[in-house]
Amino acid sequence: MSRQSGVTDNQGSNSHGEDHPLGRCGSSSAARGAESPGGSRRLGRTSAHVVSFSPFRCRMWDLHDRIESHITEESCKAEIESFSRHGQLVPVLGRPLRGDPDYDVELVFGARRLFVARHLNRPLLVEIREMTDKEAITAMDIENRHRSDISPYERGLSFVRWLRAGYFDSQEEIARSLRMSPAQVSRLLKIARLPSVIVDTFRNPSEIREAWALEIMNALDDPARRAQTLQRARALAKLNPRSRPEVIVRKLLAVPRQREVRPRVRDDVVRQDGKTPLFRIRYLERSVAFVVPADKISTDAVRAIRAAIVDALQAQAARANCAGAASEFRMQAAVSS
C-alpha cells in the first residue's frame, strides 16, 4: 500500500463545507455537533473542525494509550467491516503538526481507526483542535471512559507514562485532574506492573479485567507463588490458539494442593520401673516402630519379640473375624424373622 500525501475531501461533507488551512472542512452527520455562529464546532474554549486527511499523513501521539502491537487486521476485523459498509462514523481527535515534512496531524486517540483507514486506503475524518499536552490527556481519558475496549492495563500504562514524562507530579494529581478516586488510580498503576509474560498469555490486553489483573498481581507479589505463576504463564503463552480469558486466569491463580503435614508425635519411651529407658515405640505415618538399642538386645530376645508380635497380631485378626461373623449372623437372623 503506497503512502498518499495531502488532504482529501471529506466524503461525508455537504456542499456548504468551509475551507480549512489544512484541507476541506465539512459538517458530516458523523461529526455534526453544536456549532458556533461562525460555523465551526465549539468544544470548551477551543474550536474544532472535522477535516478529511490521508491516513498516511497522520501519526499517533507518543502518549496515546493503545498497544500498537495488538492493533492488527484480526483484532480490528469488526471495525474494518463496519468502515467498509458504512464509512467512518466517528472522527478521531488530532492536532495540527507544523514543520513536519512527513505528517500533517498528530492523533490524540483513534489508533484503531487510523489502522483501518490505512488498511482500506480510505480518507480519515479528523477532528482538529489546538490542544496542550494536558488538554490532550484529558480529552483522551474522557474518550476512554466511553469505550469498553480500552483495558485497565492500557490505562495504567498511560498513567505510568504521564508520571515519567512529568505531566503530573503524583498519582494524587492524576486523580484530581481526571476526577477519579486516588484508590482507582492506585489500582490501575498496580495493574500496569503486570509483566509482559502475563499479558502475552491473553489474545489481547482488552481481555484482562481489572479484578483478574489485581488477583494476578497479588499472586506475583507473594514470594511463595510468584515463580509458579510465571512458569504457568510461559506455558499458557505457547498455546495456539489461546485459551479463553477465564480459563487462563483460573490456571494462573490455581493454588497447588499441599500435602497434609501431620503434627509430629513424640516417641513413647518404655522404662524399667519407671526410670531406666528400655525401648521406644515410634508412631510413623503408616506404621509403628519398636526401637531398641542394639547393645541392649540379644538374638534370642529379637526372636522372642518377633514371636510375641506375631501372636498379638494373629489374636487381633481372630477377634476381628469373630466380630464380623457375629455381625453377619445377627443380620441374617433379622432378615429371617
Whether 323 is covered by a domain: the verdict is yes
* CA–centroid distance for 229 within its chain: 13
* Tens-digit pLDDT profile for residues 105-120: 999 999 889 999 999 9
Strands 92-96 and 124-128: parallel
Whether 41 is covered by a domain: the verdict is yes
Q: Would you list the DSSP string of 231-269?
A: HHHHHHHT-SSPPPHHHHHHHHHPPPPPPP-PPPPPPEE
Last residue of a domain, one of 149, 170, 186: 149
Residue with the bigger pLDDT between 29 and 154: it is: 154
Last residue of a domain, one of 149, 172, 207: 149
Whether 109 is covered by a domain: the verdict is yes
Q: Would you list the DSSP string of 123-187?
A: -EEEEE----HHHHHHHHHHHHHT-SSS-HHHHHHHHHHHHHHTS-SSHHHHHHHHT--HHHHHH
pTM over 0.85: no
For 273, the grid coordinates are 520401673
Whether 71 is covered by a domain: the verdict is yes
* Tens-digit pLDDT profile for residues 263-292: 656 788 888 887 888 888 888 878 888 888
Whether 79 is covered by a domain: the verdict is yes
Neighbours of 11 (CB within 10 A): 15
Instruction: Say if residue 1 is in the same domain as residue 134.
Output: yes
Instruction: Say if residue 133 is in the same domain as residue 275.
Output: no
Whether 244 is covered by a domain: the verdict is no
| Rounded Cα distance, 223 and 157, in Å | 24
Whether 249 is covered by a domain: the verdict is no
Last residue of a domain, one of 149, 164, 191: 149
* Tens-digit pLDDT profile for residues 167-177: 899 999 999 98
For 154, the grid coordinates are 492500557
Whether 187 is covered by a domain: the verdict is no
- Domain of 293 in residue numbering reads as 268-336
Q: Which pLDDT belongs to residue 225?
A: 92
CATH number of the domain encompassing residue 66: 3.90.1530.10
The number of folded domains in the chain is 2
Instruction: Say if residue 134 is in the same domain as residue 272.
Output: no
